[in-house]
Structure 1
Amino acid sequence: MSAQQQLIAIDEISEENAPVIYVAGGLHQFIDAVKAEVEGEVPDLTTRKGRERIASLAAKVSKSKTAVEKPGRDYLRRLKEMPKVVEAELRDFVTAMDNLRDQVRQPLTDWQAAEDARVDRHNNAIAHLKLNAESLEGITAEDLADRIEKVEGVALGKQWEEFESEAARAKDDSLKVLRAALAARQQYEAEQAELGRLRREAEERAEQDRIRLAQEAAVELERQRVAQEQQAERDAAAKREQDLKDQAAAQEREAENQRLQLKLQAEQAERARVQAEADRVAAEQRAEQERQAAAQRAEHAAEQARIDERRRADAAAAEILRQQQARERDEAHRRSINRAALEAFIAGGMPEACAKQAVTLIAQRKIPNVAISY
């Protein structure tokens, strides 16, 4: 019990001294004081005055109880209301501080949003640049040339900011893929044109050979016919003097000879036709083999180009992931150091809100000659 509590009498209890009275063990002094007043007397119950004295002492105890209890109850009501007041005050304080924090951070928030939009704009432009070198299968040489012209027309410079080198690589890689695809496509189209030309020439030669052989066979047949007629006439003139039997036998032999000659001529013509057909088939087979070889070369070139582009795309994706992870590690490292600085300020006695603002200002280099080492 403090000296201040010992000096307070029951009738001196007030709102000002209630906090030091209504504490654990704080009311024992009043119990002791009232006991000292009422227990010091021994009234005589055999007399009316003695009995009235006892009743008076009991009334005095009740009065003292009321004198201590009433201000205590009033003080207790104030204590019960205090949490509501404190809660409302704290709620208003927290709301005001949150608004102030958001207001202070708003320039950084706006800058971060603009920065994210700027980075997205550059990344989208680079992705669009790379898209020109994708899905090249079946594209004509003319379309490939148009894509090359479009990519070559992409200007590099300060407008790309820190993404200029990446944009330059994307442009260079796209042009390499497109130019390789264009060369392969031009070679393929040239080979197809050459195969068509060779096929037409082979067909024309085969047709010419067929016509020539037919003409030669016809001429030979006519020559032989004329020669045979002349020979027949000579034989007939020589044999007219022979008797009828010899003449008939001679005529029969002559007819057989003519049949053999015609058969031989027909066989020669057939062999010539078969040879011409074999030459035509051989020419078509050579043309088909050349076409298949050209198609295989074009397919191999296109597949190699797709493999190279896939490798470059995988490498670019890995690099983007590595840079993102590095930025995340750096941000985590900075947050860790900022948190350590914040805890040091708080441990040194600074309020948390002030400590947060101090760390923020130092991190933003707004405090001269003071910096945080990351």
Structure 2
Amino acid sequence: MSAQQQVITIDDISADNAPAIYVAGGLGQFFDAVKAEVTGEVPDLTTRKGRERIASLAATVSKSKAAVEKPGRDYLRRLKEMPKVVEAELRDFVTKMDNLRDTTRQPLTDWEEAEQSRKDAHVDGIQAIKDLAVFEATPAAAHVAQVITDLELVEINDSWEEFLAEAAQVKDQTLSKLRTLHAERAKYEAEQAELTRLRLEKEARDKKDNEDRIAREAAEQATREAEARAQRDRDTEAQRVRDEQAAAEKRENDLKFQAAESERRAEQAKREQIEAEQRAEREQAAAAERQAAAVEQARQDEIARANAAADEILRQQQERQADVAHKSKILGEAKQALIGMNISEELAKAIVLKIARGEVPNVTIQF
């Protein structure tokens, strides 16, 4: 205990000297002083004055206790308020320093973000070139040819900066893949077209052969019927001749009539034969027309199938574009959510891209 503390009395305690008094062992001097005062005399309990003196000494102790306790309690309250003041001051200081740090670094941060955006644009461009060789379904040769044409128009120049060599290599590799695929699809489609042509030709030949057979059989049937009728006429004529020879005198007048009738029937048979031949020719011509119509219908059907295939390719391309837009939206929302957690846009974008590429184990993005 210092000499200054030893000469301070209870009445001298104030807010100024409280830090020096209210320390470990700092109040002992006041207790000792009060104790010495109240125990320095022994009042006589048998007298009223003595008893009043004891009560006065006890009151002195209470008064001295209050004189020490009240400034101490006030000092203690100030001590309890001090951490709040210090915390507020520190919080304000830290906030200002953080803002000053961020403001000081902002030009570098802006440059880093711009640099990363520039690199990302080149990386995305290279990936877009690679994606041209990726198809969800087997494409038509014409579609592949159009993709090749579009890719050939992509310029590889100094605008690619340090990615120039990689972009050129990826473009060459992608063109090589596309040209190989185009050759394969063109060969396959040509083979399919040839098979279709051969099938149609065979069907046409089979149909013509069947129609020719029907016409031939009809003509043969007509010939047989004409020959049968002629044979019957010949048989009838022979019988008539035999009958007339047996009764020449009786049927002399009928002979001329029978001869005329025979001639009429012969003419009729001839006309019927000519009509049968003409009918066979008409049927053959009709069969040829039906065959030509079938070939034309097959050609129209093939055109319709080709148009349908082209429409399907366009639909699939539109679906892919919609899927790319949807995924970009999902990735953008995921990035914004991370930014909302006080993660920088650069880091948020990097995290989302790594997750989307499957580079973060056990973590996926639901599209």
TM-score, normalised by the number of residues in structure 1: 0.50
Cα offset for 1:113? Answer: 2.9
Q: Which residue of 2 aligns with 1:275?
A: 284
Q: Which residue of 2 aligns with 1:110?
A: 110
Q: Is 1:252 the counterpart of 2:250 in the alignment?
A: no
Q: 1:36-185 residue pairs with structure 2 within 5 A?
A: 36-44=36-44, 57=57, 61=61, 64-65=64-65, 67-103=67-103, 105-107=105-107, 109-122=109-122, 125=125, 130=131, 148-160=148-160, 161-162=162-163, 164=167, 165-166=169-170, 168-170=172-174, 172-173=176-177
Q: Which residue of 2 aligns with 1:262?
A: 271
Q: Which amino acid aligns with 2:113?
A: A
Cα offset for 1:158? Answer: 4.6
The CA RMSD over aligned residues, in Å, is: 5.7
> Matches of 2:20 and 2:358 in 1, distance apart?
60
Q: Which amino acid aligns with 1:95?
A: T
Q: Which residue of 1 aligns with 2:6?
A: 8
For the 8 Å contact 2:44–2:51, the answer to whether it is kept is: yes
> Matches of 1:247 and 1:177 in 2, distance apart?
90
For the 8 Å contact 2:141–2:182, the answer to whether it is kept is: no
Q: Which residue of 1 aligns with 2:338?
A: none
* Deviation digits for residues 102-140 of structure 1 (CA, Å, limit 9, x no counterpart): 235534532453245335534554576546986999999
Distance change in 2, residues 1:245/1:78 (3 Å): closer
Decide which moves more: 120-129 or 25-34.
120-129
> Matches of 2:182 and 2:270 in 1, distance apart?
68
For the 8 Å contact 2:133–2:178, the answer to whether it is kept is: yes
Q: Which amino acid aligns with 1:83?
A: P
Cα offset for 1:79? Answer: 1.4
Distance change in 2, residues 1:68/1:179 (3 Å): same
Distance change in 2, residues 1:80/1:86 (3 Å): same
Cα offset for 1:269? Answer: 1.8
Decide which moves more: 178-187 or 39-48.
178-187
Cα offset for 1:261? Answer: 0.7
For the 8 Å contact 2:151–2:171, the answer to whether it is kept is: no
> Matches of 2:144 and 2:159 in 1, distance apart?
27
For the 8 Å contact 1:185–1:298, the answer to whether it is kept is: no
Where structure 1 has 5 or more consecutive residues not aligned to the other structure, the ranges are 203-242, 330-374
Between the aligned residues of both structures, percent identity stands at: 44
Q: Which amino acid aligns with 1:249?
A: Q
Cα offset for 1:149? Answer: 3.0
For the 8 Å contact 1:14–1:71, the answer to whether it is kept is: yes
* Deviation digits for residues 334-370 of structure 1 (CA, Å, limit 9, x no counterpart): xxxxxxxxxxxxxxxxxxxxxxxxxxxxxxxxxxxxx
For the 8 Å contact 1:15–1:75, the answer to whether it is kept is: yes
Q: Which amino acid aligns with 2:281?
A: A
Distance change in 2, residues 1:64/1:167 (3 Å): farther
Aligned length: 271
